[in-house]
């Protein structure tokens, strides 16, 4: 019954809190920040305005944006070179999960001598790092899905192996988070749906993960409730501030809660994200009902607790029907074969990658490679047992 519980950092929440970004830098004594965002966001008027405002207040503002979704280790290495060459002393990471993960990883690696893969989330590997050389991070999400802003890890793909690795260190947790719903108003319905389902997967798997963590359970079940109440609203009306703020909160809550554990939804997702560049939230949404069905005997009592809190009929089938209906309303496909050519898939390779994924250990039902292969097969055929 010995556990380590860790909770989020300082969070500045509300409309137009992005206007306090320079104040956050001052509070953390960041005088020469590296501004990290991705290739797509750097061209948006919203990001251009933020950069323009910061340039008025800093003598120098370095920008790194040479990466896109599902980032690789080389992206981090390039960013570290920019950071060190220009003598930066802190990171501002703004964007979706990829931008936040890259920004956090750059801050983490800027003072390390070992390769990033030596800090994978295995045992006490994180203790290999020189903690004193990790600068402060400010994280500003522009999507409501990954919750990377409240996480102590970064998901980075090792291009040589094609495997998405989870890099962990307590100081990867940003020092200040800015949650501003205004920054998410222009998120497309498609991305609103995928990122919202990502947040749902985080909260749901955290709640169902084994282990004693009532604080994570409380956060996770409230996160699920916020998503149930507001995701469809934000999907249909992207300018709804209340819905956008609630989804940002639910996203941060999911990342906070999943320190308790994740499960096979993520185990199945990570290989197709790294091998086929499928959006992580979309793959989580597709795999969700197949994993729920597999885990049914172990989680049914927990699902009934969720149903009670969500005012659904108190049964596993009722919850599963809600998930299926939610995906349908969000125009999310039922099958993996609807979003990619599954003839290219090597199921033995993928199922082994999924089995070796760190999320597998948190699955509430003991799982083997054959089980994961069967779930891949079901997700391709649409066979929901």
Residue pLDDT, tens place only, 150-208: 999 999 999 999 888 999 999 999 999 999 999 999 999 999 999 999 999 999 999 99
- Average pLDDT on 297-315 reads 97
pLDDT digits (tens, 9 = 90+) for 89-138: 999 999 999 999 999 999 999 999 999 999 999 999 999 999 999 999 99
What is the set of domains in the chain, with CATH numbers?
Answer: 10-184 (3.40.50.1970), 189-381 (1.20.1090.10)
Dihedral over alpha carbons 338, 294, 373, 155 (to 10 degrees)? 80
pLDDT band at 70 (very low <50, low <70, confident <90, very high): confident
Look at residue 6 in the predicted model and tell me its pLDDT: 65
Strands (E), 171-280: 176-179
Q: What is the pLDDT of residues 121-130, one digit of tens each?
A: 999 999 999 9
Q: Is the pLDDT reported for residue 65 higher than 70?
A: yes
Q: Does residue 7 have a pLDDT over 80?
A: no
DSSP state of 358: G
Residue 344: predicted pLDDT: 80
The predicted model gives 236-248 an average pLDDT of 98
Residue 4 pLDDT level (bands cut at 50, 70, 90): low
- Taking a C-beta distance cutoff of 8 angstroms, is the pair 93, 121 a contact? no
What is the rounded CA–CA span in Å between residue 56 and residue 78? 26
CA 132/CA 120 separation, integer angstroms: 19
Only one residue has tokens 């220009």, namely 86
Give percent of the chain above pLDDT 70. 98
Does 1 have pLDDT greater than 70?
Answer: no
Residues 152 and 6: beta-carbon distance below 8 Å: yes
37-58 tens-digit pLDDT: 999 999 999 999 999 999 999 9
pTM of the predicted model, to two decimals? 0.94
Q: Are strands 163-168 and 153-158 parallel, antiparallel or unpaired?
A: antiparallel
Instruction: Using pLDDT thresholds of 50, 70 and 90, give the confidence band for residue 69.
Output: confident
Read off the pLDDT of each residue in 315-344 and give the average, rounded to a whole number: 96
Mean pLDDT of 270-276: 93
User: CA geometry: angle at 104 spanning 269 and 86, to 5°?
Assistant: 140
């Amino acid at each position: 019954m010995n556990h380590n519980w860790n909770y989020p950092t300082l969070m500045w929440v509300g409309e137009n809190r992005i206007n306090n970004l320079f104040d956050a830098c001052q509070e953390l004594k960041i005088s020469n920040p590296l501004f990290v965002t991705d290739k797509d966001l750097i061209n948006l008027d919203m990001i251009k305005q933020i950069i323009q405002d910061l340039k008025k207040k800093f003598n120098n503002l370095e920008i790194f944006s040479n990466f896109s979704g599902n980032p690789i280790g080389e992206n981090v290495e390039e960013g570290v070179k920019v950071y060190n060459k220009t003598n930066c002393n802190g990171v501002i990471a703004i964007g979706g999960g990829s931008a936040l993960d890259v920004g956090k990883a750059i801050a983490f690696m800027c003072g390390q001598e070992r390769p990033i893969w030596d800090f994978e989330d295995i045992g006490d590997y994180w203790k290999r790092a020189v903690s004193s050389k990790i600068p402060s991070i400010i994280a500003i999400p522009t999507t409501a899905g990954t919750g990377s802003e409240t996480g102590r890890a970064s998901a980075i793909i090792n291009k040589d192996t094609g495997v998405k690795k989870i890099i962990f260190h307590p100081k990867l947790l940003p020092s200040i988070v800015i949650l501003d719903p205004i920054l998410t108003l222009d998120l497309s319905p498609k991305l609103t749906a995928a990122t919202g389902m990502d947040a749902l997967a985080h909260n749901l798997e955290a709640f169902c993960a084994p282990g004693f963590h009532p604080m994570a359970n409380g956060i996770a079940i409230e996160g699920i409730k916020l998503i149930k109440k507001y995701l469809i609203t934000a999907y249909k009306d992207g300018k709804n501030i209340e819905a956008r703020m609630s989804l940002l909160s639910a996203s941060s809550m999911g990342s906070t809660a999943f320190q308790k554990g994740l499960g096979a939804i993520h185990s199945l997702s990570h290989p197709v994200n790294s091998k086929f560049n499928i959006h992580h939230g979309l793959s989580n949404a597709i795999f969700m009902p197949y994993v729920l069905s597999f885990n049914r005997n172990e989680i049914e009592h927990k699902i009934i607790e969720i149903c009670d809190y969500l005012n659904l009929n108190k049964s596993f089938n009722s919850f599963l029907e809600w998930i299926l209906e939610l995906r349908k309303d969000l125009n999310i496909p039922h099958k993996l074969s609807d979003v990619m050519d599954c003839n290219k898939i090597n199921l033995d390779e993928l199922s082994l990658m999924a089995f070796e994924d760190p999320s597998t250990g948190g699955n509430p039902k003991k799982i083997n490679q054959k089980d994961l292969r069967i779930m891949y097969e079901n997700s391709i055929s649409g066979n929901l047992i």
